[in-house]
């Protein structure tokens, strides 16, 4: 069993509505899909998503594909996918950073290795603890009445009872009033969190977090710039409401620094920003050892990437803040034949071989930006 080829596709998937963040408003989400094939013709598939090209981070879709094709693929051809940890360790010695690209490669190899053994991928990471996980939904219209109506509809359907509000864009003080009104309308029926996406300075944070805490918000995510560890430490010490690090919590070294200096008392997990599933489990170990709360984050992946996240998160003992892997619900279409199930305020963890998803090759072909020279794999 040896790796024969690795192909990468950039896809643009339309969303059901605009999804507003501080740095970008998503109307079409770009995902990067990888396919690894072994010498017996078996395939493993993976996905990462980015937000707004280079607006969220340095890993653009185009750079992810180029760096995999040029620098990573030659290192993995001929390797045994069962030894995915060793493969990625060797890759790390020759390719610096590029966490999103490494995640595409590692996850596809893991999907292949698990499929070859006819087991779910979570069996390769200690086995499943949770069959389902609490799932949050982002209210992102920016209109208070619409957001309240949407939240109440989700509660009635028993789809979500945790809601996140993206409040990094626009007037911070008006945004706080927006959050306060929604929390007042929903009361104890729902838990409300906010994500600032690094948009505030420390003075703004001091005022706004105090108001959010008084309003009953249960978590404030990344209020300051990712580099401002000292500012995050001061906010964490000052307020009772949990302060979550997301963009600041990238490498295992970043997470160790957050733990050491208490630059946040919780972190958002995202395999793509950590460099893959094995690195994410190392991040979890640091967090658990230092008492940091965990949150299963998303980069707005489609069903394939969401399944990978769900399987990994299901192996973690305590997800204190739940998850927000709602990506498939935001897309008009998906790239898998089967869908992720959401019910009773939770996401059901797929348990088929690999990540438990069957790829729809025609959909990949339809949404891929470039397809010339790659038809053979799709036949």
User: Considering Cα of 255, then 260, then 261, then 266, what sign does the dihedral take?
Assistant: positive
Does residue 166 carry a catalytic annotation?
A: yes
First to last CA, the chain: 22
* Interacting residues of 266 by C-beta distance below 8 A, sequence separation 6+: 219, 242, 243, 244, 245, 292, 293, 294, 295, 320, 321
Catalytic position from the list 65, 102, 166, 270: 166
Q: Label residue 80 exposed, middle or buried (CB < 10 Å: 0-12, 13-18, 19+).
A: middle
Q: From 160, 205, 199, 187, select the one nearest 324 (Cα to Cα).
A: 160
Q: Do residues 73 and 6 make contact, with C-beta atoms less than 8 angstroms apart? A: yes
Among 122, 195, 115, residue whose Cα is nearest residue 163: 195
Instruction: Give CA separation, 207 vs 9, 172, 300, in Å.
Output: 45, 10, 30
Q: Is the CB of residue 249 less than 8 Å from the CB of residue 224?
A: no
Residues taking part in catalysis: 166
């Amino acid at each position: 069993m040896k790796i024969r080829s690795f192909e990468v596709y950039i896809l643009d998937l339309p969303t059901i509505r605009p999804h507003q963040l501080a740095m970008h408003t998503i109307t079409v989400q770009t995902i990067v899909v990888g396919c690894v094939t072994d010498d017996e013709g078996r395939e493993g598939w993976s996905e990462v998503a980015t937000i707004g090209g280079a607006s969220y981070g340095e890993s653009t879709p185009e750079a992810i594909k180029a760096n995999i094709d040029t620098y990573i693929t030659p290192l993995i051809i001929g390797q045994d996918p069962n030894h995915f940890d060793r493969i990625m360790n060797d890759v790390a010695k020759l390719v610096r950073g590029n966490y999103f690209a490494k995640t595409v490669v590692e996850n596809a190899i893991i999907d292949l290795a698990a499929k070859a053994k006819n087991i779910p991928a979570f069996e390769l990471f200690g086995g499943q603890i949770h069959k389902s996980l609490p799932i949050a939904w982002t209210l992102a219209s920016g209109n208070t009445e619409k957001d309240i109506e949407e939240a109440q509809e989700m509660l009635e359907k028993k789809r979500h009872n945790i809601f996140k509000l993206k409040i990094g864009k626009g007037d911070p003080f008006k945004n706080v009033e927006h959050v306060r009104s929604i929390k007042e309308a929903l009361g104890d029926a729902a838990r409300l969190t906010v994500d600032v996406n690094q948009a505030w300075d420390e003075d703004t944070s001091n005022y706004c977090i105090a108001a959010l805490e008084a309003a009953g918000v249960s978590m404030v995510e990344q209020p300051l710039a990712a580099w401002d560890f000292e500012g995050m430490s001061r906010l964490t010490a000052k307020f009772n409401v949990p302060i979550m690090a997301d963009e600041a919590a990238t490498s295992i070294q970043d997470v160790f620094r957050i733990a050491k200096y208490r630059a946040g008392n919780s972190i958002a997990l995202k395999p793509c920003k950590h460099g893959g599933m094995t690195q994410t489990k190392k991040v979890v170990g640091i967090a658990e050892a230092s008492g940091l709360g965990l949150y299963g984050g998303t980069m707005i992946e489609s069903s394939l990437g969401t399944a990978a996240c769900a399987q990994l998160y299901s192996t973690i003992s305590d997800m204190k803040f739940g998850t927000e892997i709602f990506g498939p619900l935001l897309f008009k279409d998906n790239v898998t034949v089967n869908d992720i199930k959401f019910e009773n305020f939770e996401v059901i963890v797929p348990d088929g071989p690999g990540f438990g998803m069957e790829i729809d090759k025609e959909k990949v072909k339809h949404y891929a930006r470039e397809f010339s020279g790659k038809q053979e794999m799709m036949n």
